[in-house]
Amino acid sequence: MEKRVSASAVAETESMVEVKNYIGGKWVSSSTSKWQDVNNPATGRPIGRVPFSTAGEVDAAVKAAKEAFPAWRATPPLERSRYFFRLKELMEDDLENIARTVTRENGKTIDDARGSVRRAIENVEVVTGIPSLMMGYNLEDGAGRNIDEEVIRQPLGVFTAICPFNFPAMVPFWFLPYAVACGNTFVLKPSEQVPLTQQRIFSQIDKVGFPPGVINLVNGGREAVDCLLDHPDIVGVSFVGSTPVAKYIYKRAAENGKRVQAQGGAKNVLVVMPDANYEKAIPNILGSCFGAAGQRCLAGSLIVAVGDAYGEVKRRLTEATAKMKVGNGLEPDTDMGPVISKEAKERILGYIDVGVKEGAELLFDGRQVKVEGHPDGFYVGPTIFDKVTPDMRIAREEIFGPVVGVIQAKDLDEALSIIASSPYGNSGSIYTESGKAAREFRYRAPVGNVGINIGVAAPMAYFPFSGQKSSFFGSHHGQGRDAIDFFTERKVVITRWL
């Protein structure tokens, strides 16, 4: 049975929800004249309205966070951790409703949504250990006789995160819990395409009873983002999205003297060796390429089949894809849901047309998929290209949809060279039974997240979500120890004992 939540929480109906901001511990309606519909991608129908908050509203959120910082910073880490024990409990109790909200506004299958909410909760679990995570280090006589030296970690002030549409629950929690547990205050800006999930989660944050202003929420588009990037009281920015926007965020925020971690796009390669265990590999590859309709930064988008693996991979992958059901993610037997929007659908279909014009051969064409009962949904079926070459646009550019290309390579060296030639370096995986090949791949693949017989190499919350080349801009990643480093400053204290 659903527990009672605040008035801001999202109902399980298709009724229109008016999205609000959460500033200084209160729900606030925006005064803006600019609003945008929030659509259910499965039906194409609006389920909410999101405001494009004004510069004044963004400033109010930052001001509330700034005013809350001194007292929150002075709150002992053990006390701060207790708020997150409570938040974990509330999110656990509301997991199913949060997941259903994710599916309704994002389109991913309900199982995928549940998994993503679980990952958000795991980040909350990690920061309940903040008294240990924030510990510094010291050395007696480290600077000479009777002179001790130590390092202590301190919070810096107000941080913000600008988040993408593809994981409305999980990605914000790569940042928010770590920043706040470390003693900072926070302003979250979710994607305007999927604001309802954080409305629901913030109803639980409100119940926890964080001091007013410690955690704030503002909705909006580019104007709100630019206000946050330029605001003199924001000390650091976290971002996940496409590479062009990541570069923009990184440059503009850094020019304003802020810390930045900006996760960019991807073109992830799955290498299949001839000795792969196909019975286990093919379902795993299928999930990597077509899970979340390919709208994951860890989605497999190129399959490099080495040697004799080429024919076997094509046959098995095509047969397995033919059995997939595309439909509404809330239906339990759905294997793949819609893409996020009509614009995304048109862009993905355009890339399929490009692949055909470039000379790639369609093994499986998802352009004509129809979903009974949802004629207006934003559906693109799973699509597989054969005879792809590394220089093709569909092999080099991020499509961010359920489109995968198959490339034949003569050996592992050629497969690794294909990965190395990509401007991206988010993730790469190898399917093999050979320890030698696995270690060679791990050693040489220029990517941040490596999978060995795993197609979605998603780090657990206590490990950083890595990335290289044009897939990441910054020095410290989200999650794990990197997050603690990003959200604290290390201060060196040298003491002479007289």
Active centre residues (catalytic)? 297
Q: Which amino acid belongs to residue 270?
A: L
CB neighbourhood size of 220 (10 A): 27
Q: List Cβ neighbours of 343 (8 Å cut-off, separation of 6 or more).
A: none
Q: How far apart are CA 359 and CA 391, in angstroms?
A: 12
Comparing CA positions, the residue from 1, 4, 2 lying closest to residue 203 is: 4
Exposed, middle or buried: residue 279 (CB in 10 Å: 0-12, 13-18, 19+)?
Answer: exposed
Comparing CA positions, the residue from 428, 471, 436 lying closest to residue 452 is: 428
Q: How far apart are CA 428 and CA 418, in angstroms?
A: 11
Q: List Cβ neighbours of 101 (8 Å cut-off, separation of 6 or more).
A: 10, 168, 196, 197, 200
Cβ–Cβ < 8 Å for 395, 358: no
* Range list of β-strands (E), 417-483: 424-425, 427-431, 449-452, 468-469, 472-474
Q: Which amino acid belongs to residue 316?
A: R
Helix axes 309-322, 278-290, angle to 10 degrees: 60
Residue count (the chain): 498
CA atoms within 13 A on the CB side of 386: 13
Q: What is the Cα 102 distance to its own chain's centre?
A: 13
Both tokens of 44, joined, read: 């194409």
* Tokens 């990335």 -> residue: 467
